[in-house]
């Protein structure tokens, strides 16, 4: 009897010539002449298709030659090893059965489509080899993150998406409501009565789970979030989406150096995992999307990341034989052009910039003794710019209280966060990785819309 | 020089008596008499504390005896193996340094607090042993799900949270908006002008990623989502939260039996993983929360799940020597009391109920040939009731189109979903697991608010 196999099995198992096999999958291409025809078949288990050879001995040979792309078929046949051909084997079909119809107006015909066009059909584009590779690597990368962190004793924490706090006061937020917008309840002053909303107050979608996960770092030591975050910014760039996933590891008993070591280890660990489990997909993307992809990832995997202070970075930029659009001075919030100059031109590998001016960083970052900078570290990588942002947290209750006031935030809003210090000041550091930027880095894709299954950007929430 | 260790290392490494060690952690308890004192220390790496013994030889002995709970200290000392004592070892301190203050009004003193009280301090409760155990198991379970599914060639897909579709037309939804509720733009008719909202239309938070992930099953074969979902229902039960995580595996080329096999394998695989990596936490919960926990999980791990049809279940219920609050008849949507009778009294183990009346199930489930039932399967488990809901999907384009119309849904809204069938009808099945219910099942906790780091329920979105 024929062995029921997946396409992947053909590539990974050591099958004997003439093994009888049965495969079920989708027609990716079909071409037929008078006496012989070829179907490229895939079932999703591999990036590679398998070639089915059919002859006019098949009773339905003529219909088979006209099958629309994406028809579901069941193939019985004999494995033929073809060690000298481009493909190492093919299947000589003894029977092919159509088990699910497709249609001739299938919109992804063999010709190459633009990414723009494919974005209009997010439900079909995973069927293309490029998006198969991208979303397979996205899946492998997500798992690699979990595996690395769990292997390093990090506890996974699901911080809330709906929140009544606005985290760091940074970033515009989406409001979440069950009020009927066409019939809003009003208070005495004629304003919307938020106490009648679902949560009895105004709520938003989170921009970061950091503050909430810190509470868990102070119970578990090492923790991380990995979940969706949201920004209601009207950005129309290739690097911003309204809904994206963030990885936020947080470590008690860890200073800024520990944080950089952990971030470097995680990034290298993810790349090692992809090399091991996604090499076929990487190779396809290297051949078709970005010819430097594998080389760049190898460098990142093998070399120590650079580390310079913000002050050193400013000096480098001031000496640079380049005219920047935004002039450089100490205190400047570095722009993409500056970041890319440093990581691409000076280092040509990932580099941490540390100890930023306190004014351009968040309130929770730990003040350095110089009184001017904070213990922050951003990781810049070639082609992407900022990939990771982290810091040592201000664990000293008195200093943290002052910082909240200095930043014009409300002590009431942060009472619970201050509690974390009131009951056990503990050295602590953490960082955030935008998961989509990581996937862009791992795939060579240049638009964030092409690494998200169903991207959400201003004006776009289809499907 | 003293070895810097984590508490976990003391329990897992084979350390020699009198090893010099250095530990940094939090004071969990402290008691001292005139000449000797004991500190229970923890650093989050283990559910177990380590006992620090201090004598009045320490220059700061008196202050140490008065340390508030949760003070951060650094301990240098000598490991003393105590094989005959309850604890296998203790640390004889040679120096103890306070490195971060706490306060005497620390709200979690040693006495036992109610879960209700602890819910008011979600930022501190992970520091209790019970919640440490619960959230550690939550983390292990999440990883076990990923590891099992990735090991079975499932590709992880992040389906969108913000959506303009309402999935299956089931469940009340939260609206997502950036409009200023106190200054809403209006159209000609005086209604809210949704085209001026962020996404240029009305958007909601998703109730399920199933339809979106199906598109990926038809490219990758096996896929799964694992992310947050939302229900804006005004439920105040112990089993409903407004924000919760769902695992939704979806398989092409799979019928209802394949689906049940996969669901059973996944649940058993998660339990096996927890037995291997979370036994200390399970044992604590078995001793303190639910004395049948481990026994119940062992049964689930070892025995095949029961399988009966809905029609057989109705017959069992009609014959039951029990008076149900809701009377039983063929066509009834089974209530918790019925589900628990079947899984707890009849089977005393997990049981699948299959082939439900089509009227009480969703439109996308595949019609059986009897014209009355659909190929659905729900898994009921003791103590929880429904843990998994799944079905074979209607892959036949004509039947699916009819079902959408029968259910009064709009063909326009589902055009892209119909496309998936138009271009390759494929046998397909999938299921959903409410992750929090799974964690309740794995921990014995009875209130969903106690297995979510920061629970969201009607009127509650604190932190």
Asked if B230 lies within 8 A of A422 by C-beta distance, the reply is: no
Query: Which CATH number describes the domain made up of B3-100?
Result: 2.40.50.140
Q: For the stretch B379-390, what's the b/e string if a residue is b when 16 or more beta carbons lie within 10 angstroms of its beta carbon? A: bbbbbbbbbbbb
Q: Where, residue-wise, is CATH 3.30.930.10 in chain A?
A: 125-171+207-450
Among the listed residues B340, B72, B352, B420, the one whose alpha carbon sits nearest the alpha carbon of residue A217: B72
In percent, the amount of chain A with pLDDT more than 90 equals 95
Specify the 3-state DSSP secondary structure of B197: coil
Q: Is A200 on the interface with B (CB under 8 A)?
A: yes
- pLDDT given for residue B85 in this prediction: 86
Dist CA B311 CA A233 (whole Å): 53
Locate the DSSP E strands across B3-61. Answer: 3-4, 20-32, 36-42, 50-55
Dist CA B160 CA B154 (whole Å): 18
Decide: B397 and B425 in contact? Cβ < 8 Å: yes
Predicted confidence (pLDDT) at residue A204 exceeds the cutoff of 60 = yes
Dist CA A82 CA A17 (whole Å): 9
- pLDDT given for residue A165 in this prediction: 77
End-to-end CA, chain B: 43
Tell me the pLDDT band of B227, cut-offs 50, 70 and 90: very high
- pLDDT given for residue B285 in this prediction: 98
Query: Which CATH number describes the domain made up of A125-171+207-450?
Result: 3.30.930.10
Query: What number of other Cβ atoms are within 10 A of residue A208's Cβ?
Result: 22
Shortest CA gap B74–chain A (Å): 11
Radius of gyration of chain A, Cα coordinates, nearest whole angstrom = 27
Dist CA A318 CA A2 (whole Å): 70
pLDDT tens for residues A333-388?
999 999 999 999 999 999 999 999 999 999 999 999 999 999 999 999 999 999 99
Predicted confidence (pLDDT) at residue B344 exceeds the cutoff of 90 = yes
Dist CA A24 CA A74 (whole Å): 4
Closest CB to B162: pick one of A158, A245, A461.
A461
Dist CA A310 CA B220 (whole Å): 45
Among the listed residues A198, A46, A73, the one whose alpha carbon sits nearest the alpha carbon of residue A133: A46
In percent, the amount of chain A with pLDDT more than 70 equals 98
Dist CA B145 CA B151 (whole Å): 10
Predicted confidence (pLDDT) at residue B343 exceeds the cutoff of 90 = yes
Interface list for A 42-81 with B (CB within 8 A) = 43-45, 68-72
What residues of chain A lie within 8 A of the CB of B182, using their CB? 191-192
Burial of B33 (0-12, 13-18, 19+ CB in 10 A): exposed
Span B419-434, average pLDDT:
97
- pLDDT given for residue B299 in this prediction: 96
Confidence (pTM): 0.97
Dist CA B206 CA A454 (whole Å): 13
- pLDDT given for residue B171 in this prediction: 65
Closest CB to A160: pick one of B150, B163, B454.
B454
Q: Where, residue-wise, is CATH 2.40.50.140 in chain A?
A: 3-100
Span A97-122, average pLDDT:
92
Asked if B124 lies within 8 A of A215 by C-beta distance, the reply is: yes
Taken in order A412, A417, A423, A424, is the CA torsion positive or negative? negative
Q: Which chain A residue's Cα is nearest to B181?
A: A192
Locate the DSSP E strands across B218-335. Answer: 222-230, 243-252, 306-309
Predicted confidence (pLDDT) at residue B457 exceeds the cutoff of 80 = yes
- pLDDT given for residue B166 in this prediction: 61
Predicted confidence (pLDDT) at residue A86 exceeds the cutoff of 90 = no
Predicted confidence (pLDDT) at residue B169 exceeds the cutoff of 60 = no
ipTM metric: 0.97
Shortest CA gap B221–chain A (Å): 5
Token pair in block for residue A208? 């970061």
């Amino acid at each position: 009897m024929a062995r029921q196999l997946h396409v992947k099995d053909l590539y990974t198992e050591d099958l004997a010539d003439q093994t009888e096999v049965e495969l079920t999958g989708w027609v990716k291409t079909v071409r037929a002449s008078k006496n012989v025809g070829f179907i490229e078949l895939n079932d999703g288990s591999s990036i590679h298709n398998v070639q089915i050879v059919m002859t006019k001995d098949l009773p339905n040979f003529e219909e088979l030659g006209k099958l629309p792309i994406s028809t579901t078929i069941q193939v019985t046949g004999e494995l033929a090893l073809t060690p000298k051909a481009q493909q190492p084997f093919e299947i000589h079909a003894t029977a092919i059965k159509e088990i699910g119809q497709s249609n001739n107006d299938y919109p992804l015909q063999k010709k190459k489509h633009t990414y723009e066009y494919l974005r209009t059909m997010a439900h079909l584009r995973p069927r293309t080899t490029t998006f198969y590779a991208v979303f397979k690597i996205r899946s492998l990368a997500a798992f690699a993150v979990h595996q690395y962190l769990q292997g390093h004793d990090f506890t996974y924490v699901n911080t809330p998406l709906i929140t009544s706090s606005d985290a760091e006061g940074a970033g515009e937020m989406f409001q979440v409501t069950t009020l009927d917008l066409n019939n809003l309840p009003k208070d005495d002053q004629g304003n919307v009565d938020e106490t009648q909303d679902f949560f009895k107050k105004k709520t938003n979608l989170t921009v970061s789970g950091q503050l909430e996960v810190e509470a868990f770092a102070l119970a578990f030591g090492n923790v991380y979030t990995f979940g969706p975050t949201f920004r209601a910014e009207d950005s129309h760039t290739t690097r911003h989406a309204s809904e994206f996933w963030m990885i936020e590891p947080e470590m008690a008993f860890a200073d800024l150096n520990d944080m950089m070591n952990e971030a470097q280890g995680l990034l290298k660990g993810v790349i090692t995992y992809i090399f091991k489990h996604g090499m076929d997909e990487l190779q396809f993307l290297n051949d078709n999307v970005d010819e430097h992809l594998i080389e760049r990832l190898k460098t990142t995997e093998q070399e120590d990341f650079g580390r310079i202070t913000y002050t050193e970075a400013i000096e480098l930029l001031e000496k640079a034989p380049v005219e920047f659009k935004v002039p450089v001075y100490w205190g400047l919030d570095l722009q993409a052009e500056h970041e890319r100059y440093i990581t691409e031109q000076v280092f040509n590998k990932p580099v941490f910039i540390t100890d930023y001016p306190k004014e351009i960083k968040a309130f929770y970052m730990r003040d350095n003794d110089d009184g001017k900078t904070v213990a922050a570290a951003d990781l810049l990588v070639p082609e992407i710019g900022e990939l990771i942002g982290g810091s040592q947290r201000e664990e000293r209750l008195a200093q943290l209280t002052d910082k909240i006031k200095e930043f014009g935030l409300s002590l009431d809003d942060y009472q619970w966060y201050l509690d974390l210090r009131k009951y056990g000041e503990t050295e602590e550091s953490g960082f955030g990785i935008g998961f989509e930027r990581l996937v862009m880095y791992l795939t060579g894709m240049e638009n964030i819309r092409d690494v998200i299954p169903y991207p959400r950007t201003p004006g776009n929430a289809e499907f």
